Amino acid sequence: MKLTARQQQVLQYLHQHIQTHGLPPTLHELMAAFGWSSPAGAAKHLQALAARGLIGHSAGKARGIRLLPAGLEVLGGGVTFPGKTGIVATAMGAVHSAGAIDAAGSSGSSVRVGLEGASSAGKSAGPPERAVSLLDDVLNLPLVGRVAAGQPILAGARIERHLQVDRWLFRPQPDFLLRVQGDSMIDDGILDGDLVAGKATPEALHGQTVIARVDGGITIKRLWHRDGQLRLLPRNVRHRPIVPDPVEDFAIEGIYCGLLRRPD
């Protein structure tokens, strides 16, 4: 079975990672090892190996890649991996998980305001074993620009571009990206210029960080909901809370899932 030199290196890297760490690498780790800035580069080689029956993939798992018997046979040829000298930073750099932002109180009642139909469909369960697919591990997220007043964020938005990101970077799985403007959330590590990932939903819990539409603009704040009252709390003492009027142009557009930041 004839493989390209790079396919052989990828196969060897998978084997070495399993031998060293006891589990396969994630797509993001594979990208770092070979210096690929886009998930598409890693996915292309994984798909080629899967098409030859050398590896399999368990759907719904970040570390779902596994070597098949045919792949182990190919490795008997003594292919060597040149090491991690080619590691480079990915295009967007540091990621903060949603768990670092969410506040206590997730067991409270949820708030649902705004237009219907903004919630995203949950992911469907795939077969337990299938060939590696680009769609398994990569999200193609729209970077939302200006949003039309009175419209759901994905319906009334101007899409600047789409970015491919590793789906395992975020929890829950996001539907869109927004660029942060301002410093009202710096105490939660959300800085001016960051790309915030959001899951489209009109519902949120007290204490969650939400993406909301207020008076035609989009803001990200911590939701406070007690005794029927709503407030959007900044995470910077220099900014005041927002007390939205539900009868005006106000809606919860989504919940915060994490962020992407360009390295300095």
Q: Environment class of residue 125 by beta-carbon count within 10 Å: exposed (0-12), middle (13-18) or buried (19+)? A: exposed
Which parts of the chain are beta strand (E)?
A: 55-57, 65-67, 95-97, 110-112, 138-147, 157-166, 176-179, 195-200, 203-205, 209-214, 217-226, 229-233, 250-260
Q: Nearest to residue 41, comparing CAs of 69, 17, 64, 10?
A: 10
Residues belonging to the active site: 184, 221
Phi and psi angles of residue 167, each rounded to the nearest 5 degrees, phi first: -65, -20
Q: Contact 220/204 with Cβ under 8 angstroms?
A: no
Please tell me whether residue 144 adopts helix, strand or coil conformation: strand
Residue with structure tokens 């491919």? 164
Residue with structure tokens 């798992």? 61
Lookup: tokens for 177: 């990206």
